[in-house]
Amino acid sequence: MSHIYLIALPPLFPLLQAELGLGYAELGLLLTVFFASSSVTQMPVGMLVDRIGGPLVVALGLGLEGLAFALMGVAQGYATLLALAAVAGLGHSVFHPADFAILSATITESRVGKAFSLHTSAGHLGTAVSPALVIFLAAFWGWRGALGAVGIAGLAGMAAILAMRGALTGDIAARSAVKATSAPANEAEGPRGLALFVSRPMLMLLVFFVCTAMTSSAVRSFSVAALDEVHGTAMAAAAAALTAYLFASIAGVLFGGYLADRVTRQDLPIAVAFALTGAIMVLVALVALPAGLLLTLFLIAGFLQGTARPQRDMLVRARTTRRTLGRAYGYVSTGAAAGSAVAPILFGWILDLGHASWVFYGVALFMLVGLLAVAFDRQPAA
């Protein structure tokens, strides 16, 4: 549900523009407000998760985001939409700090990588189906009905989580009852408070999350338009390549979870994935590729990026303790939300300047920066 909400608005922009008379810059500001609100509230939410546990927080967050989207369906003015985007961002801020804290504390150590990958792949699935879902709903009920329907689904999700809350409350009990043999090596010691956030590993992971969000947003939001501008790629071929990228990411995440439970250095798969994806993006910018080859390369790139996601989450887990998991994930997720807020403005501006090829060069550049951030990340000795 959280990833359905991530891109529920952009496919409906033409309908909002026609009815409300808004420009694309104003519509883009809705996304910026959403991600900015999510970014600034990640840390406080992470601290709240560390205090009261994740189940109640994640249920209330989903309900709040669902309510905001449902109310967007009846909003009458742009100012109301902006305010509701901020509320939706607040609700969205709970997912990474709460979800990963729950999984880290309740799943057996030998299977936590698979748990992360299953959770993340569900998010990728939401991203992949969201555009088709909201356009399908809008065909019957208009954009207002589409937003109302996905909003009500979030409220139903909140009710389901509250009803089955007992399955998730192990994260609280595990803090006092977890066996020493299943605890992370740095459970007993490690930086806490401000020292945790200014430590080199966490700062590098923050940079890495920013870069990951920037690249994901650029590919997801602007690759189709950039391919059309740079090479005159047919819309259907460009959209097919993006769809292949999104669904291959799901498969990559599942494989990445299997891999994460079997490697001791998660930075190596990340480095390979980012280096190869960056090379693919440079090639796409330079050469007008046949539709079949373009789809194949986007398929490979999506799979590679998917494999990196569980490794990324395991890196965060390895650099904190159970008592600070919520705030640690909130901290790095702040970077992800910030990257997602900046990317639409930056890459949209690049397209407006007529330098569409730099959408792909920019993706490659941020891949390189993310790779270097992981390379400079060193886990402190236990």
CA distances from 71 to 87, 154, 187 (A): 11, 12, 43
Two tokens at 161?
A: 């989580």
CATH number, domain with residue 218: 1.20.1250.20
Q: Is residue 186 part of a domain?
A: yes
380, containing H or E segment: none
More reliable by pLDDT, 141 or 32: 141
What was the pLDDT predicted at 195?
Answer: 66
Residue range of the domain that includes 287? 2-376
At residue 154, the pLDDT reads 92
Cα distances from 292 to residues 73, 228, 297, in angstroms, run: 39, 16, 9
Determine, yes or no, domain membership for 72: yes
Does the predicted TM-score (pTM) go above 0.75? no
| 269 domain-assigned | yes
User: What one-character-per-residue DSSP string does 85-152 give?
Assistant: HHHHHHHHTTHHHHHHHHHHHHS-GGGHHHHHHHHHHHHHHHHHHHHHHHHHHHHHHHHHHHHHHHHH
- pLDDT tens across 189-232, in order? 445 556 666 777 788 888 888 999 899 888 887 888 888 888 98
Residue partners of 235: CB distance under 8 A and separation at least 6: 224, 228
Q: Based on the structure, what is the number of domains in the chain?
A: 1
Position 382 in a domain: no
